[in-house]
């Protein structure tokens, strides 16, 4: 994985696991890779992976079964989706609308592009 400088690596790792849940790679109560497996897969320090898993557990996305590993918590996909939608509405959409106004792009223009016209 190539990491960007705009977010901490552990946050980017947590985001990646959330992306995998959203894409359907992992479902409710599916076991996810262990901390060590995920650290090796993404070529990061194990401590960084621990921070990512801790964040996801605090956020209610995953849970730990002692001796068995980490699993996707029921309803995690809906929780991630709701959080990301709100983030999009609060952070990205205002900039998009501002740029549309500056460039004279109407909603009709966007709909035409969306529909492939």
8 Å CB contact between 72 and 61? yes
105 phi and psi angles, rounded to 5 deg: -95, 125
Dump pLDDT digits (tens) for 76-90. 999 999 999 999 999
pLDDT tens for each residue of 4-46? 888 999 999 999 999 999 999 999 999 999 999 999 999 999 9
Note the pLDDT of residue 54.
Answer: 97
Question: Would you say the pTM of this structure is higher than 0.85?
Answer: no
- Consecutive H or E run containing 25: none
Where do the H-state alpha helices sit in the chain?
9-22, 35-42, 46-58, 76-87, 93-103, 107-114
Write the CB contacts of 64 (distance below 8 Å, at least 6 apart in sequence): 57, 70, 71
């Amino acid at each position: 994985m190539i990491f960007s400088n705009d977010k901490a690596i552990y946050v980017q790792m947590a985001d990646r696991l959330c992306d995998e849940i959203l894409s359907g790679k992992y479902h409710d109560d599916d076991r996810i890779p262990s901390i060590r497996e995920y650290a090796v897969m993404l070529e990061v320090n194990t401590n960084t992976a621990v921070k990512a898993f801790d964040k996801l557990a605090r956020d209610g996305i995953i849970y730990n079964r002692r001796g068995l590993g980490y699993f996707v918590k029921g309803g995690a996909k809906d929780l991630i989706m709701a959080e990301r939608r709100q983030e999009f509405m609060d952070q990205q959409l205002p900039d998009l609308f501002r740029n549309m106004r500056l460039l004279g792009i109407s909603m009709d223009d966007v709909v035409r592009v969306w529909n492939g016209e």
